[in-house]
Amino acid sequence: MDRSNEAPDGGARARTGAQPSSTGRRAFLKTGLKTGLGVAGAAVAGGMAGRAGATPMTAGAEADPATLPPNVPWWNQYLGDGVAAHPYGSPSPYEAHVVRRNVEWLTATTESSVNFTPIQDLYGFVTPNGLCFERHHGGTAEVNPVDFRLMINGLVDTPKVFTIEDILRFPSVSRFHFLECAANTGMEWRGAQLNGVQYTHGMIHCVQYTGVPLRVILDQVGVKPNGTWLMAEGGDSAGMHRSVPIEKALDDAILAYAMNGEMLRPENGYPLRLVLPGWEGNMWVKWIRRIEVGDKPWHTREETSKYTDLLENGKARFFTWEMDAKSVITGPCPEKPVLHKGINQIKGLAWSGRGRIKEVHVSTDGGRNWMQARLADPVLPKCLTCFNAEFEWNGEEVLLQSRTVDETGYVQPTMQALQEVRGVNSIYHNNSIQTWLVNKTGEVENVRLG
Ligand code: MTE
Ligand code: CO
């Protein structure tokens, strides 16, 4: 894996001495950061090559004795930054390794590409806006909201054009939903490929969307009785199009303008995107500029040559909208080795495009025996659910797996079971059980069983 895209791991770890003044402290922060990067970089190259953010926050770093009790550390002795210093806040410099990453060989250009959410470094089920993976086929469109328009035409009584101000005047809803790219885990169909959960499972994010239910906007134009399909069109250079059945539009689809309490980020579709809870990310058209109502699907590029699954018999599955139930352990994982013998925590994420997660089971012996994991509240429909469980590590090799069951009773399959039905030609919709091998040193590897 090419590592040139990786943000330096570790941030400022090696710090020494009390700081004489706030300016001195800042100057030190700068050099401290540089030194820290060098030290962390060397550590990564030595032990964990090819893994994103491979070490925990403090691993390998020596604490500065001058800062430890009963001493009063330097940050306790000087005034800190004032309230005007950070009009828009950002994470601690010690968290500089928690970033989106991309894999250079996956796509030819960064404009038509993808980066990955660092799920191994996140807590709870909400993804911070700046860490939501991005997938765009023609780069981020820079839309000035003043010039933004959404046009609705086709089989409607009154075609209309809406400004963003118009959209903001309708009654809003706020809901938490995951968005998973259909290609998430797509590189893993034929064998274990990428050694990091960020890369194998990081084409997912989960935020609280605020917007207007699509049905409210459709009421404004009056869908004709034969209007059974919508075509959603993006306003970026890729001009993405997807056909959406009217039932979904009238059920839980949202035209969202905000994520996690603030307006959408440009890369996620500012100022307006389509949210189709539980359905494949490709259909969540960003920078949406037009909705056409019709009486049949359009069979656009994104639902024929792409986002279809070629089966062994030469036929292809298409319109595979719902994301099947899936789970993954996000610690331990290749980026988070097991550091202690004795009791360790397993943590992970589970989700289903069909509703709520009912159960998660974890195995430490490659799926022979399973135990029930705890689900963390809240367990919301079509939303990430966190789970955790204990496991005791005595320094032996362990094969960690998780398996989820959703409220429809659907059980996450093994890769063998999935391949029996789907063959080996697919890229999209790989929701199979992931195996992590914890080896005797505590390092963790992506492996395929059987
Ligand atoms: N919408 C437009 N207009 N252009 C795009 O390239 N990419 C799609 C979808 N909507 C895309 C788009 C794909 S493949 C995915 S997975 C999601 O947006 C990614 O959303 P995100 O960038 O907010 O993570
Ligand atoms: Co996608």
pLDDT of residue 450: 72
Residue 204 and residue 11 in contact, taking contact as beta carbons nearer than 8 Å: no
pLDDT at 51: 45
For residue 3, name the pLDDT band (cuts at 50, 70, 90). Answer: very low
> CA 136 from chain center: how many Å?
14
DSSP state of 221: H
Q: How far does residue 320's CA lie from ligand 1's centre (Å)? A: 16
Query: In this structure, what is the dihedral angle of CA atoms 374, 435, 132, 431, given to the nearest 10 degrees?
Result: -90
Q: Which two tokens stand for residue 336?
A: 């988070």
CA of 274 to the centre of ligand 1 (A): 10
Gap between the Cα atoms of 188 and 430, Å rounded: 8
Give me the mean pLDDT over the 208-220 stretch.
98
The CA-based angle 350-196-53, given to 5 degrees, is 110
Cβ(446)–Cβ(334) below 8 Å = yes
Cα 294 versus chain centre, distance: 33
pLDDT of residue 109: 77
Percentage of the chain beyond pLDDT 90 is: 83
Quickly list DSSP for 143-155.
--TTT--EEEEES
> Is residue 438 within 8 Å of residue 396, measured between CB atoms?
no
CB 321 within 8 A of CB 279: yes
pLDDT digits (tens, 9 = 90+) for 150-162: 999 999 999 999 9
d(Cα 12, Cα 281) in Å, to the nearest integer? 36
Ligand 1 atom 23: residue of nearest CA = 268
Could you give the 3-state DSSP secondary structure of residue 437? strand
Q: Could you tell me where the DSSP H helices lie in 233-318?
A: 246-251
The stretch 298-306 carries a mean pLDDT of 94
Its sign, for the CA torsion 127, 128, 129, 131, is negative
The two beta strands, 150-154 and 288-294, are parallel
Cβ distance 32 to 18 under 8 Å? no
Best residue among 136, 265, 291 to mutate for probing ligand 1's pocket (most ligand atoms within 8 Å of CB) is: 136
- The pLDDT of 68-95, averaged and rounded, is 96
Structural domains in the chain?
17-95 (no CATH), 113-314 (3.90.420.10), 326-447 (2.60.40.650)
Position in ligand 1 atom list of the atom nearest CA 180: 16
Closest of 357, 391, 389, 385 to residue 374, by C-alpha:
389
What tokens appear for 17 in the block?
Answer: 């001495």
Per-residue confidence band for 57, with pLDDT thresholds at 50, 70 and 90 = low
Task: Answer whether residue 303 shows pLDDT above 90.
Answer: yes
Nearest CA to ligand 1 atom 7: 136
**Alpha carbon nearest to ligand 1 atom 6, residue:** 136
Pick the closest to residue 331 from 140, 155, 201 (CA basis): 201
d(CA 166, CA 362): 48
Contacts of 32 (CB under 8 A, 6+ apart): 12, 14, 15
pLDDT in tens, 93-151: 999 999 999 988 887 777 788 999 999 999 999 999 999 999 999 999 999 999 999 99
Give strand ranges (E) for 81-123. 113-114
Q: What is the mean pLDDT of the chain?
A: 88
- Inform me whether the pLDDT recorded for 276 exceeds 90: yes
Minimal CA–CA distance to 371: which of 395, 350, 387, 393?
Answer: 387
Can you give the pTM of this predicted structure?
0.88
pLDDT of residue 110: 77
What's the pLDDT score for residue 89? 97
Q: Which tokens hold the place of 450?
A: 């059987």
| Segments in 86-238 forming alpha helices (H) | 164-168, 197-201, 214-221
Q: 112 and 137 in contact (C-beta within 8 Å)?
A: yes
Cβ < 6 A, ligand 1 pocket: 132-137, 179, 181, 205, 234, 236, 238, 240, 267-268, 281-282, 284-287
Q: Are strands 357-363 and 398-406 parallel, antiparallel or unpaired?
A: antiparallel
